[in-house]
Amino acid sequence: MKQLITTFVFLFFSISVIAEDGSKLWLRAAHNNNAIISVNQKGPTLSIAQDELSTQWKGMPVQLHINKKKKEFQGRSPESYTIKTQGKNKILIESPTQQGLLYGAYHLLRLQETIGTKDELDILETPRYNYRLLNHWDNLDRTVERGYAGKSIWNWDELPGTISPRYKEYARANASIGINGTVLNNVNASPQILSNEYLQKVNAIAGILRPYGIKVYLSINFSSPAELGGLPTSDPLNKEVQQWWKNKADEIYKLIPDFGGFLVKANSEGLPGPQDFGRTHADGANMLADVLKPHKGIVMWRAFVYNPGDEDRAKQAYQEFMPFDGQFRDNVIIQVKNGPVDFQPREPFSPLFGAMQQTPVMAELQITQEYLGFSNHMAYLAPMWKECLDSDTYQQGEGSTVAKVTDGSIYPQKITAIAGVANIGNDVNWCGHHLAQANWYAFGRLAWNHELTSEEIVQEWVAQTFSLPINDEPNYLLSKTMLESREAVVNYMMPLGLHHLFAWGHHYGPEPWCNIPGARPDWMPSYYHKADSEGIGFNRSSTGSNAVAQYHPSLQEIYDDINTCPEALILWFHHVPWDFKMKTGSILWEELCYKYESGVQDTRYFQLIWDVLEHHIDEERFKAVQSKLKIQTRDAVWWMNACLLYFQQFSQMAIPFEVERPIYELDRLMEFRLDITNYENAMR
């Protein structure tokens, strides 16, 4: 970051920037054009594509053509499209479907707003995943679990009679980045969502999203037959229970013929599931799959299942699901969090990726920043997701990346999918932090094409969101800052593979000392960091919990040896002595101190760079982000002080003189209890 300071002198000049509130997201192109756009068919989705281009496109005439016989589309997704320049006076966009043409229209507009369209166009685009979904953790009372941008955008009390204009804007934003499905409600689902009253409301939302190519899905509570239907049981092998679900599926599809299917969290964190009746995950998933099959619906069954006990929590999803590989119906897909624990700032990829070879598996990524500073911290997450998707599982030889074992490239899957837990709320700027909009955008772009780089995506987003051209210095500075932000968060929170040091319950701020009497051990930070006088870190090697054995032998060998284990994950897989010599030449304790210091210093450079961009950003958004960056820097110092002072009790080593001195006392930090509703004044 420091080298960027030398460029600052060139950026202090005044330009006119129109004030904005962030509500337009990345779709800020002027709508005052009157371009010539022709179509060869009619339909609601095609009309949207035509309208988007006619009002925003600034170039030559465009033809939108449905073409089901084009050779480029044979064997490809019906959402595929081509964009080609025809001579000097026409652009032709073709697809087998209206939905593909809509994506093609948004692609052309994205080119116009980013790199331009002066060169001859010859583009073929095919999505890597069939199902590209947002998962809303929204409750029926409009609270949002792990949501930091206001209330739910779904106003259930007013539906179906009143339709918020935000629903259409939501649909438009998702379609512009290729998202084609949304799960409307929390995985900790209320059975009430399946009542006829709420299904009428769901139908109203579906009607708004449908023309944009977006299907609706619902999270279901496994005990719905008993709690909603009044049956004495919800046993998936009970005939009455099966009939109840069949009737409910028929009711849903009569209202919503293109309903997508169910997302299920079962036998996890106290939620009901098939194991309550002595049945298996396969029994439960297959029962639901059978009632959805006639309607072409799917079941997304979450692998986030763990139970209290002596077994390493990081091993439990693998242990729960591997025995059932090949036993699920072909319209079931297992939804797996990117890492084996729980959306930590850094985890190795889940060993279920690639290991399950006879069952479709999809990645679940968390867009909302539950463990990364909520909407107060800048944390551009594409590098985190790429780290997972590009990881080599080695399950079918070198190059068997997580992306390729989930997108159908390696295993012939009938269903390919990817999901992102949404960071959307009813805040004017949608995401609580203007820069957090980039994560929504990045998820959509990677879901469409996981080969895009984090840099390409953020440069696109910056260009469209702040009107900063890709090849100009301001775009470079902001993009580079955002690209480095996730690593900074890892460093000032939990470097070198540390994980789950968060405060109890709300997961904001550090509490490595947290010890709630009677609480589950695997909800306590000490379960994960295991700091003592000898060292720190969770021993998952062959001499410990042996979680390394769940990975392919090529990775087992690397992870199992403390000398070859990647240092970014060394405390994930090993309990490391405080005086262990790291690759930099420093001992572990010193390296830990330097990492925390680096994270804090990065947040200060982020502030500096943002301030330099003041004349390139409108005042409203500039001040809002500036305020968030101040909070982030204070939080980074809080994290560094809390963790180093606490762990110093075990290492009994001095903080290196190069590292910034703590400004808090450990006793005060350990007594502090954060009022999450009034955070901004809490640490001043």
The catalytic residues are 269, 342, 370
Dihedral (CA of 574, 577, 581, 585) sign? positive
Cα three-residue angle 423-428-429, rounded to 5 degrees: 50
Residue 510 DSSP label: B
Q: How far is CA 522 from the centre of its chain?
A: 24
Count the Cβ atoms, other than its own, within 10 Å of residue 396. Answer: 15
Task: Output helix, strand, coil percentages for the chain, rounded to the nearest 5.
Answer: 45, 10, 45
Both tokens of 645, joined, read 């002072």
Contact 602, 488 (CB under 8 A): yes
Residue 3 DSSP label: G
Listing DSSP states for 307-361 in one string gives -SSSS-HHHHHHHHHGGGTT-S-TTEEEEEESSSSSS-SS-PPPTHHHH--SS-E
Burial 576-604 (b: 16+ CB within 10 A, else e): bbbebebeeeebbbbbbbbbbbbbbbbbe
The helix (run of H) or strand (run of E) holding residue 125 is strand 122-125
Dihedral (CA of 113, 119, 124, 128) sign? negative
If you count them, how many residues does the chain have? 684
Both tokens of 566, joined, read 């990647």
| Angle between the N-to-C axes of helices 165-176 and 437-448, in degrees from 0 to 180, rounded to the nearest 10 | 50
